[in-house]
Every structure is written in C-alpha cells, then in structure tokens.
Amino acid sequence: MWRDMTDRKTQIVVVGGGAAGLALVRKLAAKHDRATHDIILVEKNRTHVWKPLLHEVAAGSMDANSDEVGYGGHAARWGYRFFNAALERIDRDRRVIVTAPLLDEAGEVVVDRHEIRYDWLVLAMGGVSDDFGIPGVRDHAMFLESRQQADLFRRKMLNACLRANDRKPEGAEARVSVCIVGGGATGVELSAELVNAAKALRSYGLERFDEDTLQITLLEAGPKLLPALPEDVSDKVKGRLAELGVDVRTGAMVTRVGPRAVEVKDGPTIEADLILWATGVRGDHALSKITDLELSKRGQIVVEPTLRSKNDPRIFAIGDCAHCVLPGEERPVPPRAQSAGQMADHMVGQLDRAQKGQPLRDFVYRDRGALVSLSRFATHGSLMGNLIGGKMQIEGRVARLAYQSLYRLHLLAVHGPWRGTVRIAVNAINRVTRPALKLH
C-alpha cells in the first residue's frame, strides 16, 4: 500500500493529469486544508502538454519543452501529491486503486505496483482516437494522442524531409507524402501546420526542399470537414486548405491501412510515407480491464448527469473518458477541452456536496463555440453566447484571439490567476524569441 498520510484524512484520488485532471487537483488542493484532505494525482507521465497543442509539436512549430508542466513541481507548489504510475485496476470493494509498476527505458522496475486508498475517486484519463476496427490502423498509422507520439511524428517527418532534400539532385523522385485520416480539428490543423513548416524548411538549410516536395492528403469519411462547425465555415476551411496545396477528399471512407498505403472505398489507394490517424474519440481500450464500471459503446465510462459513475457513488468520471448525456439531450457532452475544463470546475463543488451528504447537482455544459486554426494562414470558427444572441461566425484576427484565449484559460485553470498570467506573458515573449521550427 502506498504511504497513507493518515487514515483520518479524506483521500481524493484523481487519475489523469490532462485538461480536466490537472485543473481539478489544483483547485481541490487550493480549496482543502492539508490537515483534513489528501489530494493525490495519479498520472502515467511526468509532464503535461495541453493536447490541443500537439499538432504544433508534431509539425515542429512549437517546442513542447517550453510549454510543458512538470507534475512534481506543480504538486509541490499547490500542495497535492503526485504519484507517477498508470492505473492498472480499481478494487471497488476495498476502495483502492492498483497502479502498474513504473518501468525505465530498459524495462527495469523503477517503482513497484502499488495500492492507493481512496474515499473519492475521479477518473480523468482522457480518450484515444477511434480506429473503428479498420484493419491495419494500429499497426501502420501514427496517432497524435500524447507528447511522445507528437515527437515521434516530428522526427519521422524531419527524416523524410531530409531524405527528400538529399535525393533531389540525383533525379530520384523527391517527395514527402503525408496522408492524414480524419477531417476534424486535429487533421485540419495539422495539415495547415505542416504546410507552414514546409515553407520554413528552406531557410533551415534544406535548400532543395520546395513547396511541391510535400504532398498532403486529408481524408474525411463524412460529407464535410469539421462536423462541429457550420457548413459554410467548413467550406471556407476546405477552400483555404486547397489553396495551400492540401488534397482534401471528403466522403473518403478508409477500409484498410497498409505499411505505406491507405485503401479507400470506391477510390484509388493513397500511397504515403507517413500516415496519421486522427478520427473520433473513444475510451482507452484498457478501461475494460481496469474497471467493471459500465462503459458506453465507445468505451467511455457511463456517468449520470451529476458526473457520478452509474455503478459506484464513490467514483466520478470527467473529460474525454466520460460518457455523459445531459437531461433533454440526445448526444453526450462532446469530448473537447472546454467540456473537460467545465467538468473539472463542476467536480470541485460536487465533491464537496458528496462529502457532506448533500444532493449532487447536474452538470451544465455551456457550448462556447468551436474554432479552428490554419496555422498562421487563417483562423475560423463560431462563437456561442447569450450576449451575442446565439451563434456568431468569426474569422481573422478576432478568431485568432478567441482561439488563443482557449489556451490562456487552460493556463489560468492550471496555474491560478497570478502564475497563469505570468505564464501567458512568458509564452508571448517566447513566441517572439524562439526559432520558428524545432528540427530535432
């Protein structure tokens, strides 16, 4: 059993330190007295990078080292405990979670398997891209779900560019082809970010690398890009991507992925040096082994509108790992950063009420709209709100500011108002002083 501070303390365990979990532990630690409460974050990584930045990390236009948050330091600053391990199993009868052994690069055990007692357990483990059981996806495609995957994509992309640059004078076919599957925000934003990076490569010594060397194909099974945005916004985005040289194909249903090929129903097979899969969100496949809690068809933990799990009053789930259908709604709360942040806020009061035995309140999701950034080329989206009387489409500088404010809100949630503001200022300076591309 991992060191229990004292049996008398209320122990709140949060698993997963992403957009939802990290904001939650900070707020819980700031709210509760350490003499009465022990707030514990269990997270498999040692640092946090906000997921919506991963396409920039993958393209090299952001250096994640300068934006990451070290859990150890964050925990010391805010007064919660950080336990670096992956959740392996929940023993609901004994109210303990079991964490997997932490291994080093050589597979040696660094920290043994542990048990951690909980009074209240909040699962905030995020989600993964849905491969819909399509053959070859897990074996041959890359994903953009973690910092490690974004770093891997960037390294492979850079190697492919260096190879193409090196071979061009010999007359060999010199091209880097990337196939991105999924026309949601991730696929769209990564396409534009890669075009931006390719434009900058010449000034980084890849003199023979021109814009035609990079060929990007973006495949979307549905009739339009960006299902969360209105039709005309998605048309504009499609047009802008086409102007940037991206081959956008909607209605393209992928049926199989091979080592360097993406097969499309009723269409030609697309050959690609790099294949990136960015479709849908589902619960981590491991969840069914971790817990016997009810899971949705997409493998997410089914919660009541209060965010409490259907099967256990001591366990809650928030963010992408939760399947929450609110009263009067047919569809679940969407897996987005804004939902994760709002759920984290709601959990703070909810845990208070649960501890006092008071009735829980339903979560209310406030859709603030959706925005998509085409790197430095354009930003489009729609804002929702009572003040503007419903939905308003925005683009250009206003949209850019609204887009940037999403990350700023995350920084304030994670670092608090004072430190968050300093981080925002430092980031602004960094953007001016650091190189445009990270090429390692």
Ligand X SMILES: Cc1cc2nc3c(=O)[nH]c(=O)nc-3n(C[C@H](O)[C@H](O)[C@H](O)COP(=O)(O)OP(=O)(O)OC[C@H]3O[C@@H](n4cnc5c(N)ncnc54)[C@H](O)[C@@H]3O)c2cc1C
Q: Which residues bind ligand X (CB under 6 A)?
A: 15-21, 42-45, 48, 51-52, 54-55, 86-87, 124-126, 144-145, 185-186, 284, 319-321, 335-338, 340
What are the phi and psi torsion angles at 409 (to 5°)?
-65, -40
Of 19 and 307, nearer to ligand X (C-beta) is: 19
CB of 15 to ligand X, least distance (A): 5
Residue among 200 and 228 whose Cβ is closer to ligand X: 228
Least gap, CB of 376 to ligand X (angstroms): 16
d(C-alpha 242, C-alpha 208), whole Å = 23
439/411 Cα distance (integer angstroms): 26
Q: Which C-beta is closer to ligand X: that of 306 or that of 338?
A: 338
CB of 274 to ligand X, least distance (A): 15
Nearest distance from residue 143's CB to ligand X, in Å? 8
Cβ closest to ligand X, residue 305 vs residue 335:
335
**What is the full DSSP assignment across 159-221?**
HHHHHHHHHGGGTS---EEEEEE--SHHHHHHHHHHHHHHHHHGGGT-TT--GGGEEEEEEES
If the CB atoms of residues 213 and 339 are measured against ligand X, the closer one turns out to be 339
What is the rounded CA–CA span in Å between residue 127 and residue 114? 24
Find out whether 332 and 307 touch, Cβ atoms under 8 Å. no
Contact criterion met (CB below 8 Å) for 230 and 395 = no
Closer to ligand X at the Cβ: 86 or 348?
Answer: 86
Q: Which residues is 128 bridged to in the sheet?
A: 282
* Residues whose CB is less than 8 angstroms from the CB of residue 409 and which lie 6 or more positions away in sequence, other chains included: 341
Cα dihedral value 29, 30, 36, 39, nearest 10:
0
Least Cβ distance, residue 35 to ligand X (angstroms): 27
* Choice between 168 and 335, CB closer to ligand X: 335
Least Å distance between CB 346 and ligand X? 13
Minimum Å gap between C-beta 20 and ligand X is 3
Token pair, residue 298, equals 């997409």
Residue with tokens 């806020």: 345
Q: Which residue has the tokens 């949209």?
A: 399
Phi, psi of 227, deg, nearest 5: -55, -25
Beta carbon nearer to ligand X, 67 or 320: 320
**Closest distance of CB 236 from ligand X, Å:** 17
Instruction: Determine the residue with CB nearest ligand X.
Output: 18
Contacts of 114 by beta carbon, 8 Å cutoff, 6+ apart: 1, 2, 83, 85, 98, 99
Q: How far is the CB of 228 from ligand X (least distance, A)?
A: 9
Give yes or no for a contact between 49 and 184, defined as CB atoms under 8 angstroms apart.
no
Query: What does R_g of the chain's alpha carbons equal in angstroms?
Result: 22
**52 vs 332, which CB is nearer to ligand X?**
52
Tell me how far, at minimum, the Cβ of 290 lies from ligand X, in Å: 7
Q: Which is nearer to ligand X, 126 or 183 (CB)?
A: 126
Sign for the pseudo-dihedral over CA of 145, 148, 152, 157: positive
Residue linked to tokens 């981590």:
284
